[in-house]
């Protein structure tokens, strides 16, 4: 499973490369360093597998809201198309990653699982605030405030984490016969 997750990380790096290519082609200066990206990478590398997947899920959730906002903010059809493609990718990634996360968490006692999920939502909320601060020009341009951006990011959590992802479903009789 970690090899599959590494592929999702490469896909996120591809998204960053697409945006960088667009920016260079349009004479937009790139940041040399992004402290939030550095922090997320460091935490992901130091943490265990479940925590690393949690961080990826948070990045995907926030990325989904941000790319939608960026698509609305731009007058460039090319950038809007890139953002729509990224949102579609994020939605696919979230389905896999949340299923994986819930499978990993499903082995815990209910109270422990609720505590971990509370920490996940808290990290999502804090991360959304930090991302708003770093990207406030774009986000304010489309009408976001720090609170409304955080609210939209946090609103994704119950949707993606509850899509029958508590535990892998058992096979039905027909599926058992086909296996």
The closest of 19, 171, 162 to 89, measured between CA atoms, is 19
The answer to whether residues 8 and 97 touch, using CB atoms and an 8 Å cutoff, is yes
Angstrom distance (rounded) from CA 92 to CA 89:
5
Task: Give the CA radius of gyration of the chain.
Answer: 18
State pLDDT tens for residues 118-137. Answer: 999 999 999 999 999 999 99
pTM of this prediction exceeds 0.75: yes
Taking 60 as the threshold, does the pLDDT of residue 65 lie above it?
A: yes
The closest of 145, 167, 159, 163 to 64, measured between CA atoms, is 159
What pLDDT is attached to residue 38?
74
The closest of 46, 91, 37 to 64, measured between CA atoms, is 91
Q: What is the DSSP string of 109-157?
A: -HHHHHHHHHHHHHHHHHHHHHHHHHTHHHHHHTT--HHHHHHHHHHHH
Give the mean model confidence (pLDDT) for residues 136-141. 95
State pLDDT tens for residues 70-86. Answer: 999 999 999 999 999 99
The first and second tokens of residue 90, run together, are: 């994020």
Burial class (CB in 10 A: 0-12, 13-18, 19+), 57: buried
């508590």: which residue's tokens?
166
């Amino acid at each position: 499973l970690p090899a599959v997750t590494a592929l999702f990380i490469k896909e996120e790096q591809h998204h960053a490369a697409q945006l960088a290519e667009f920016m260079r082609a349009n004479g937009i200066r790139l940041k040399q360093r992004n402290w939030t990206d550095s922090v997320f990478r460091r935490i992901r590398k130091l943490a265990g597998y479940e925590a690393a997947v949690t961080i990826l899920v948070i990045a995907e959730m926030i990325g989904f809201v941000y790319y939608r906002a960026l698509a609305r903010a731009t007058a460039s059809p090319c950038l809007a198309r890139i953002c729509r493609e990224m949102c579609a990718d994020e939605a696919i990634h979230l389905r896999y990653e949340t299923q994986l996360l819930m499978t990993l968490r499903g082995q815990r006692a209910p109270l422990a699982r609720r505590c971990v999920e509370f920490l996940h939502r808290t990290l999502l909320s804090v991360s959304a605030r930090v991302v708003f601060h770093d990207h406030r020009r774009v986000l304010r341009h489309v009408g976001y405030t720090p609170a409304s951006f955080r609210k939209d990011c946090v609103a994704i959590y119950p949707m993606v984490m509850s899509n029958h992802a508590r535990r892998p479903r058992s096979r039905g009789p027909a599926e058992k016969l086909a296996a």
